[in-house]
Structure 1
Amino acid sequence: MYVLGAGTLVAAALAVLVAQVGFAVPAVLNGLFQQDLGPTSSQLTWISDAFIVPVALLELTFGVLGDLFGRKRLLVGGALVLAIGEGVAVLTPGAGSSTGTRVLVLWIGQIIAGIGAAALFPTSLAMVAAGTHTASARARAIAVWAAALATGGLISSVLGGLMTRIGFGTDPSASWRWAFVAVLILALASAAISLAMAQNSAAPEGRSLDWPGQVTVAVALFALLFAVIQAPTSGWGSGQVVAGFIVAALFLALFIWAERRSPAPLLRLDFFTHRVFAVNAVVTVVGMFAFVGTAYVTSIRLTAIQGFTPLKASVAFVFLGGLTLVQMPLTSRLLERYNPKWVLGGGFALIGAGDLWLAAVPATNLSLAAIVAPLVIAGIGFALAVSSVTAVAVNAMPNHLAGMASGTTNMLRDLGFGLGPAVIGAVALSQAAAQISRTVAGSASLRGALAGFTASAAHAPAAQRPALEAAVGAVQSGPLGANAVPATVPVPGGHVVPFNPLKDVAFHALSHAYSIGYVICAVAALAAALLAVVGVGGRAHETQTDPRTLTEQEAAS
Structure 2
Amino acid sequence: MRRGSPAIWAFVITSTAGFMAALDNLVVTTALTAIRQHLGGGISDLEWTVNAYTLSYAVLLLLGAALGDRLGRRRIFTIGLGAFTLASLAAALAPNIDALVAARAVQGVGAALLTPVSLTLLTAAVPAAKRGMAFGAWGAVNGMAVAMGPLIGGTVVEHLSWQWIFALNVPFGLILLPLARLRLTESVGPNGRLDIPGTALASTGFFGIVYAVIRGNDDGWTSGPVLAGLIGGTVLLLAFLAWERRSPAPLLPLRLFRSRAFSAVNAATVLMSLGMFGSIFLLSQFLQAVQGFSPMEAGVRMLPWTGMPMLVAPLAGLLAGRIGGRNVIAAGLALQAAGLGWFAAVVSTHVSYAAQAPALVLSGVGMALFFAPVATLLMGSVRPQEQGVASGTNSALREVGGALGVAVLTAVFTAHGSYSSAQHYVDGLAPALWVGASVIGVATLAILLAPRRDAADAAGAVMADSAAAGARDAEAEPLAQPTA
How many aligned residue pairs are there? 463
Q: Give the Cα–Cα distance (whole angstroms) in 2 for the partners of residues 74 and 395 of structure 1.
A: 29
User: What per-residue deviation string (whole Å, max 9, x for no partner) do you get for residues 19-77 of structure 1?
Assistant: 12112111001111221112022112111111111011211211212333443443343
What is the CA–CA distance in structure 1 between the aligned matches of 2:239 and 2:298, rounded to whole Å? 43
Give me the TM-score of the superposition, normalised by structure 1: 0.76
2:431 corresponds in structure 1 to: 516
How far apart, in 2, do the equivalents of 1:309 and 1:242 lie?
A: 39
Mapped partners of 2:157, 2:133: distance in 1: 36
Conservation of the 8 A alpha-carbon contact between 2:40 and 2:97: no
Give the equivalent residue in structure 1 for 2:442.
527
Question: 1:183 is matched with which residue?
Answer: 169
2:260–2:449 Cα contact (<8 Å) kept: no
Query: Structure 2 counterpart of 1:325, which letter?
Result: M
Counterpart position of 1:15: 17
Cα pair distance change 1:20/1:240, threshold 3 Å: same
Deviations 1:424-473 (A, max 9, x none): 001111122xxxxxxxxxxxxxxxxxxxxxxxxxxxxxxxxxxxxxxxxx
Which residue in 2 is equivalent to 1:109?
A: 103
8 Å CA contact 2:264, 2:449 repeated in 1: no
Partner of 1:234: 219
- In the alignment, is the contact (CA less than 8 A) between 1:86 and 1:109 conserved in 2? yes
Match of 1:149 among 109, 124, 142: 142
Distance 1:348 1:137 in 2: 32
Structure 1 residue 302: deviation in Å? 1.5
Query: What does the per-residue CA deviation read over 1:115-154, in whole Å, with 9 as the maximum and x for residues that have no partner?
Result: 11112443345567899999x9888666544433331123
1:78-227 equivalence runs, <5 A: 78-93=80-95, 102-124=96-118, 144-166=137-159, 175-188=161-174, 191=177, 202-205=188-191, 207-227=192-212
User: Which letter maps to 1:365?
Assistant: H
Q: 1:334 to 1:427 in 2, by over 3 A?
A: same
Separation in 1, partners of 2:330, 2:131: 20
The superposition leaves residues 277-321 of structure 1 with CA deviations (integer Å, 9 ceiling, x where unpaired) of 111111110111122122112112113343432111111232221
Distance 2:362 2:10 in 1: 33
User: Equivalent residue for 1:436?
Assistant: none
CA contact (8 A) 1:140 1:332 kept: no
For residues 196-345 of structure 1, the aligned pairs below 5 Å read 202-205=188-191, 207-345=192-330
Native 8 Å contact 2:333 2:441 kept in 1: yes
Would the aligned equivalents of 1:142 and 1:390 in 2 still touch at CA under 8 Å?
A: no
- TM-aligned CA deviation for residue 343 of structure 1: 2.0
Q: Unaligned stretches of 5+ in structure 1?
A: 94-101, 168-174, 433-478, 484-506
The answer to whether the Cα contact below 8 Å between 2:30 and 2:153 also exists between their aligned partners in 1 is: yes
Q: Which amino acid aligns with 1:163?
A: V
Question: CA offsets per residue over residues 66-104 of structure 1, 9 Å max, x none?
Answer: 3334434433432322111110011122xxxxxxxx111
Is the radius of gyration larger for structure 1 or structure 2? 1
Residue among 405, 418, 423 paired with 1:420 = 405
- In the alignment, structure 2 segments of 5+ residues that lack a partner are 1-5, 471-484
Over aligned residue pairs, what C-alpha RMSD do you find?
Answer: 3.0
1:16 to partner: Cα distance: 2.8
Question: Would the aligned equivalents of 1:398 and 1:547 in 2 still touch at CA under 8 Å?
Answer: no
Alignment of 1:359-508 (within 5 A): 359-365=344-350, 367-432=352-417, 479-480=418-419, 482-483=420-421, 507-508=422-423
The answer to whether the 8 A contact 2:7-2:122 is kept is no
Rounded to whole Å, the distance in 2 between the matches of 1:550 and 1:537 is 23
> Aligned residues: percent identity?
29
Seen in structure 2, the aligned counterparts of structure 1 residues 87 and 105 have a Cα distance that, compared at 3 Å, is same
For 1:380 and 1:73, locate their aligned partners in 2 and report how far apart those are by CA, in whole Å. Answer: 39
Residues 80 and 338 from structure 1, CA distance in 2 versus in 1: closer, same or farther, beyond 3 angstroms? farther
Structure 1 residues 186 and 421 mapped into 2: Cα distance closer, same or farther (>3 Å)? farther
**CA–CA distance in 2 between the matches of 1:336 and 1:275?**
20
Residue identity in the other structure for 2:24:
G
